[in-house]
Amino acid sequence: MARPGDASRGVYTPDAARAVPSGSGSGAPSTEKIPDPFITPFKDEEKKSRKWKKVLFFLLGILILCGVGGGLAGGLITKKKADDAQAAANPAAGDAGNDSGLYDKNSAAVKKLMNNKNLHKVFTGMAYTPMNTQYPDCLNLKPLQNNVTLDLAVLSQLTNVVRLYGTDCGQTELVLTAIDKLGLTDMKVWLGIWLDNNQTTVDRQISQFWNIIDKYPSTNIKGVVVGNEVLFRKDLTITALTKYISDVKTNLTSKSINIPVATSDLGDNWTAELATAVDTVMSNVHPFFAGVNVEQAAGWTWDFWTSHDVILTKGTSKGNVISEVGWPSAGGNDCGGPACTSSTAGSVAGISQMNTFMSTFVCQSLTNKTDYFWFEGYDEPWKVQFDTPGQAWEDKWGLFDVNRNLKSGLTIPSCNGQTVTSS
């Protein structure tokens, strides 16, 4: 489900807070001084937003007067809606106290988030896309190391494993740095390489991935996911996809790095041919999109996964993971294809439904050792542009809002004290 976009940027550091991304300009860092860039929202972005609103309304007026504004204006409004949602999310939640520079496990802002009695380490994995890591938006509104560090501080109380979808905007480096700063020795990451039908994007993602592999030890790297839902989107053929997978496996072997290589796709897009090419079969299985009533969702997920995907690895040593499973907190309902006849038919998005699904899936998965990634840790406001009337859930799959607040009314299962084991 993630659409990470299309970008290239190095690690966010104090000295490179306003550095020009490689390949997009002079490459020289800006000399502009920003007050406390790690904890303060970008004021210049707010000014730009106000200017943009004025320009937008002026342009819309001209378009409407000219009689050609309908389609284009609608597109602009949709894009602006997404931008406003992103800007409304405080990009620096958390009180810095007396801290300065990069946060670590001893920072007041980090300690404030830790030991939350409402959080329990019961998820075998968590899907995570850091804030502001979509290209080209991240060239102007950059992701911040401290935001990612605070995000990971919260997620570390839920899981030992996070999954990323791509390498753009320095997101992988930010996550690995956060793990180091927080001293999360048990935390592992499934790295992501985003693949689509744009060769420039693919080449850049792969290049960035190898730079990361060469720069960081594999201590906290659990594996790599080469592409997400590539076959579902029909961006690549199985032949092309397996070639990328094979190349990654070969190059990792040449570097004496022994980590599993996978790809993730919809559960019913997996074939025996694709399963042969990977070390781990990773299936995105969403009962919500099947139109399943939430009371039956956990059982449906298990039945679908075992009959469509687990069966492909029977008799082998290959791993099998549900690479996405979750439930949105609001936005309407889905009946699995046909139009819903009422607002309560099929799969209904809501907090109570999220609670029901978690209470029937999470602890049971610990008991039967089902490996999965919950989709997802945090809401992604930028996805509001993909919402449609009656189906406005794209940006509402997180357990937390973007300011790291557990959604009101949501209850993380305690599983009677049972927790995930070290990765």
Q: What is the pLDDT of residues 319-350, one digit of tens each?
A: 999 999 999 999 999 999 889 999 999 999 99
- Predicted confidence (pLDDT) at residue 271 exceeds the cutoff of 90: yes
- Predicted confidence (pLDDT) at residue 149 exceeds the cutoff of 50: yes
Residue 404 burial (CB count, 10 A): 20
Residue 136: its pLDDT value, please? 87
The token duo for 365 is 């998965």
Residue 333 burial (CB count, 10 A): 21
- Predicted confidence (pLDDT) at residue 32 exceeds the cutoff of 80: no
Res. 291 pLDDT band, cuts 50 70 90: very high
| Nearest residue to 282 via CA among 241, 334, 254 | 241
Lowest-pLDDT choice from 27-31, 57-61, 359-363, 404-408: 27-31
Contact assessment for residue 125 and residue 152, using Cβ atoms and an 8 Å cutoff: no
- Predicted confidence (pLDDT) at residue 317 exceeds the cutoff of 70: yes
In the chain, what are the domain boundaries?
A: 14-85, 97-417
Residue 47: its pLDDT value, please? 41
- Predicted confidence (pLDDT) at residue 78 exceeds the cutoff of 50: no
- Predicted confidence (pLDDT) at residue 147 exceeds the cutoff of 50: yes
- Calculate mean pLDDT across residues 85-114: 69
In the residue annotation, 295 being an active-site residue is answered as no
Choose, from 46, 173, 273, 324, the residue flagged as catalytic. Answer: 324
CATH of 97-417, one of 3.40.109.10, 3.20.20.80, 3.40.50.2300, 3.20.20.190: 3.20.20.80
Residue 58: its pLDDT value, please? 55
Average pLDDT, the chain: 83
Choose, from 45, 46, 229, 376, the residue flagged as catalytic. Answer: 229
pTM for the predicted model, two decimal places:
0.80
Contact assessment for residue 119 and residue 154, using Cβ atoms and an 8 Å cutoff: yes
Query: Over the stretch 357-414, which tens digit does the pLDDT of each residue have?
Result: 999 999 999 999 999 999 999 999 999 999 999 999 999 999 999 999 999 999 999 9
Q: What are phi and psi of 139, to 5 degrees?
A: -70, -25
- Calculate mean pLDDT across residues 206-211: 98
3-state secondary structure 146-204: HHHHHHHHHHCCCCCEEECCCCHHHHHHHHHHHHHHHCCCCCEEEEEECCCCCHHHHHH
In the residue annotation, 32 being an active-site residue is answered as no
Lowest-pLDDT choice from 80-89, 177-186, 303-312, 406-415: 80-89
β strands within 8-146, DSSP E: 126-127
CA distance 301 to 306: 9
- Predicted confidence (pLDDT) at residue 15 exceeds the cutoff of 50: no
CA distance 219 to 408: 36
Residue 111: its pLDDT value, please? 98
Residue 175: its pLDDT value, please? 99
Between 374 and 24, residue with greater pLDDT: 374
Q: What percent of the chain has pLDDT over 70?
A: 76
